[in-house]
Amino acid sequence: MEGTTQLTAVDVEEFGRALDRLREEILAGLGEGDARYIRRVIAVQRSLEAGGRAVMFASLLPPAWLAGTAMLATAKILENMEIGHNVLHGQWDWMRDPEIHSTAWEWDSASPAEQWKHSHNYVHHTYTNVLGKDRDIGYSALRVHPEQPWHPVYLAQPLYNLMLAMVFEWGIAIYDSELERAWRGEKSWAETLAQLSTALRKGGRQVFKDYVAFPLLAGPAFLPVLFGNLTANTIRNVWAHMIIFCGHFPEGVEVFTEEQIEGETRGEWYLRQMLGSVNIEGSALFHVLSGNLSFQIEHHLFPDLPSNRYAQIAPEVRALCARFGLPYNTGPLLRQTSSVWKRILRLALPGPARRPVETDKNEEAGAVESRGASSAA
């Protein structure tokens, strides 16, 4: 793997064992404090949503409209990012609370939870950044790595990526139906259309709730409430798009071939997650609003650990990377966003497809840097 030639097979497995030990330590320490955290976040989110909708009913007055829309947008961000995404990952299943369990939660998104869990929890987190396996590489619509062959449609990707940001929940709902796999004959159209129908029914309920039911309840404030709900959803979509893209597509992120993951060990899986993820620096509030996906590296390493623990884990993961000579890709939001957009603009243009660098996983220890060899001691 590119960037890992200083590691022996022994190094890689020791790296994996160190991360396994860290994971077990966190699991052993989970308790009432963690449970209080997620219950508090849910309570805050529901209060913001109820308050925002109530204030918006007075939205014939501009200050009320602004306040209500801001509260509702914040509630939707919290519900999608810190609650929905992480509950559906099973991060809180250890509590055995049926109301906060991955099998029962349905989030405030156009994408049905069960379809999203398959495409995200299974496909993406199993085959992270593997060309031909991980459909999240460009979401089957964008060229975000030079290893992807160029097509003329990518000339328009700066424009349609901007449009995707504004309707991100709808893009993900359609994406989860895997239309491109049906076009290629890899999946039956009957199964695909059944999934698309499920997504449209879920999306229809979302449309009715935000653009019919609540505006009607507002009476004379119908139009301001309708526009406020649309604004809140757009803010949530743009925010989610920005955080997710900044965790996956900036410069320095590596991709891999299917051949490279044949016979992949636990340590090699950890290494691939490490090299395929990017963190975003910010305040404690920023991390909560990002769903702690600002700790994308730690999330990819430990997708089932409660998100409130990522800040605790991050310094130890960074120290491990320093010990083994591995990059720890992190930076402020503005820098990561700029990196993503530069890449999208650059790769919209034609250029030769580049294959990931192949390395011999059985490379002899004698050819390895002495620092890498000593790190396993």
Mapping DSSP to helix (H, G, I), strand (E, B) and coil, where does residue 276 land? coil
Q: From residue 72, how far is each of 34, 85, 100 by CA, in Å?
A: 25, 18, 21
State the pLDDT confidence band at 364, using cuts at 50, 70 and 90.
very low
Query: pLDDT of 3-28, one tens digit each?
Result: 444 789 999 999 999 999 999 999 99
Domain boundaries, the chain: 9-29+108-347
Give 78's Cβ-side CA count (13 Å radius). 20
Radius of gyration of the chain (CA): 22
- Is the Cβ–Cβ distance between 297 and 317 less than 8 Å? yes
In the structure, what pLDDT confidence band is assigned to residue 356 with cuts at 50, 70 and 90? low
Q: How far apart are alpha carbons 188 and 181 in whole angstroms?
A: 9
- Residues 31 and 297: their CA atoms lie apart, in Å, by 24
Backbone dihedral angles phi then psi of residue 216, each to the nearest 5 degrees: -65, -40
Percent of residues, the chain, with pLDDT higher than 70: 92
Q: How confident is the model at residue 366 (pLDDT cuts 50, 70, 90)?
A: very low
Does the reported pTM lie above 0.75? yes
pLDDT tens digits for 70-122?
Answer: 999 999 999 999 999 999 999 999 999 999 999 999 999 999 999 999 999 99
**Residue 126 CB neighbour total at 10 angstroms:** 12
- 173: pLDDT strictly greater than 90: yes
- The tokens for 220 are 């004379």
Backbone angles phi, psi at 254, to 5 degrees: -105, 155
For the chain, what is the mean pLDDT?
A: 91
Q: Tell me the longest C-alpha to C-alpha distance in the chain.
A: 78
Residues near 158 by Cβ (< 8 Å), separated by ≥ 6? Answer: 341, 344, 345, 348
Amino acid 3: pLDDT: 46
More confident residue, 365 or 40: 40
What token pair was written down for 133?
A: 């396996």
